Structure 1
Amino acid sequence: MGGLRSPIGVYRGQYKTTPPEVLGAAVIDALLERTGYTTVDRVYCGNAVAGGGNIGRLTALLSSLPETVPAVTVDMQCASAGGALEWAYSGIRAGLYDTVLAGGTESSSLQPLRTYGDDDYREGSYRVAQFSPYERGELAMLKGAERTMQKYQVRADELTPWILRSHQRAVLAEKEGHLQSYKLDGEDMERRIALVSKAYGIPQPILTHVPVDECIRPRMSERLLQRMPSLLGPNTLTTAGNACLTHDGAAFLLLGTQPSRYRIAAVTAWAGNPLYSPEGAMEATEQLLTQTGLTMAAIDAVEWNEAFAVIDVLFGRRYGTYTERYNRCGGALAYGHPYGASGAIIVLHLMASLECCDGRYGLAAIAGAGGVGTAMLIERMITK
């Protein structure tokens, strides 16, 4: 198992004119070139906000893969790529496939405005899908994070250290090159986007600069965080500092039956109350540990997608002894959260973390809108 991701772009930043299928195809082509594969048995592609249609198939068709490769789009919102990896793993375990590409691609910048049908009681247009029968609206995820903070009586001073830690660790990971093997070089990314666009007559996206991880803030400070207003009004905690920003990016992994440096040892999916969706990473983790009979003490590296800092607080409260093993390269509060790709991004960061600590077992978990989550146990095959 191995993979690559694009540099991650902020909303209406470096990829503001790059369609998600072009971004995904560029990453797939780079991964195929790196691994020496020319085809696979199936593609599973996570996506949350492209607006419908089988964007996984469109991505595969734009890539160098043969048109005979079937492709499926998986929509579990934030957990979409996690779901794609689960499906790929299950298909290989069942003997249906030998090689599968799984991951996701996302463009928040090009998220379309959609309109309900004429006879639908939910009148008007929307950008954010309905995640729960009890609630709908643009602020549903922010309200879910706020409810979760209230449920666990989280304080503002608990959130701040996690936010600063995320940015500091991301800056250090960039400086020390921990993600170099798992992230496309910016100039190569730029070239591959151009090649995909040219091959199919797509208007050439206008890149504002050579792609980089665009959101990391080396100068993030406690003072700056304290100045950020609440996004939900008086007496609430949710701000632009403790809630990740919406982003653009793509990431894919190649899974197969051939021996490799990494293998997926176990996967699980969880579902619970859709009004408290940030709980998904914690609950999926607990489910996976129970399923495998392991404890957190046996896990050398942990990646939870920190869509909100409350997710970090939940980790710290439950597994405080192991915080040094958690999100070693920083998390989504620093890098951003390209929804449909994030589940694959955190697996790539997990592999980098295992290399850094010379560890064996890693756990990646992600919560998704609608009260879902996925978790995956990765084993690094250590040779003595």
Structure 2
Amino acid sequence: MKLAAEPQSNHLDSYQKKVVASTTAGFGLENMDIMFLSFALSSIIAQLGLTGTQAGMISTITNIGMLIGGIFFGILADRVGRIKTFTYTIFIFAVATGAMYFANNLTTVYICRFLAGIGGGGEYGIGMTVLAESFSKSKLGRISSWVGMAGQMGAIVATVLAALIIPTLGWHALFLFGVIPVFIIFFIRRHLKESDSFIKSSNEKNGSIKELFETPKIAYQTVALMIMAIVQIAGYFGLMNWLPTIMQKQLNLTVSSSTWMIATILGMCAGMFTFGMILDKLGPRLAFGIFLVFSAIGVYVLTLPTNMASLIVVGAVVGYFSNGMFAGYGAVVSHLYPTEIRATANNVIMNTGRCIGGFSSLVIGWILDNHNVMTVMIFISTLYIISLIAMLSISNLRQKNYRQF
């Protein structure tokens, strides 16, 4: 496999273009599938007569599936190969999403979403690992940002499809579009191959979770990165699920959630693009430091809008900082851990974040029931400060050209 050209070159060779095409398509369509549930949830609740607790468990079960799938497929990718395992994960989440077409009871919904979570949870770390082993460190931040932006584009596609399909054909039909990623498998199997670094490490002890905690220093690094991932996901869910409703209620605005979401997603895409360049140029400490500080401040800015237009602008700005960092985690983790446990590290760290951080919506709901909006702002801001402290304490990030153990 060809590795990156000289770090200063912006040219991608033919193989790298195929890697980018495969991973961006995979992440974009995966995020599209995941967002289908958000748009279909109210229809599912109405048709199946679900309680709030039963409906909330759908997302919880999905997150649990992501953690389990992330661990299992991360280990598998480090042991038997990234490319084969990558296609397995795509197949599982695509078929499980499409199977929601046949879900006419709560048990079937739970099973389908659990399986979709297993596949989706496994894909992230493997895709980021394939990128890391196809590009030089000096390019990976920018390349990773493209993948993150593709995920947000998938969310916009889901928004459009939901608006067109659910009112006319119903929520079941929407999930049939979830099988589209299956077609990516044929391209990946034909055009991608294992990296030289993976082949050379095949005689090592690959795919061991124990290696993530082998020494106190490595264990601390792993836990600190998990904390950062938890905050990242918690901030995202808090922003997307609750803040539009909070702002509309507090300011008596009529902005629709779809308008807010699209504006925020576009802000996130711009943030990812910028973050990737800063990461490559200035290193992880400055890149994460800048975005975490402005994220901590940004939640308070959400109290400033006085009309619909200003709320949309502020939402885009907050989205720029709060989720601009997302793609950077895969780039950083991929260079902090050696080849033999790279996919395992990516999947365990990020899916721990998904599983635990996903509960932020419940926490924010409880805060609103018992306190006030400012308490929510303080809670979210404090999370970003905790993430900043965790990031600054990781010794291997204290230089621009951070190293792996």
Instruction: Please report the TM-score for the alignment, with normalisation by the length of structure 2.
Output: 0.25
Q: Greater helix percent: which structure?
A: 2
Structure richer in strand, relative to its length: 1
State the TM-score, normalized to the length of structure 1: 0.26
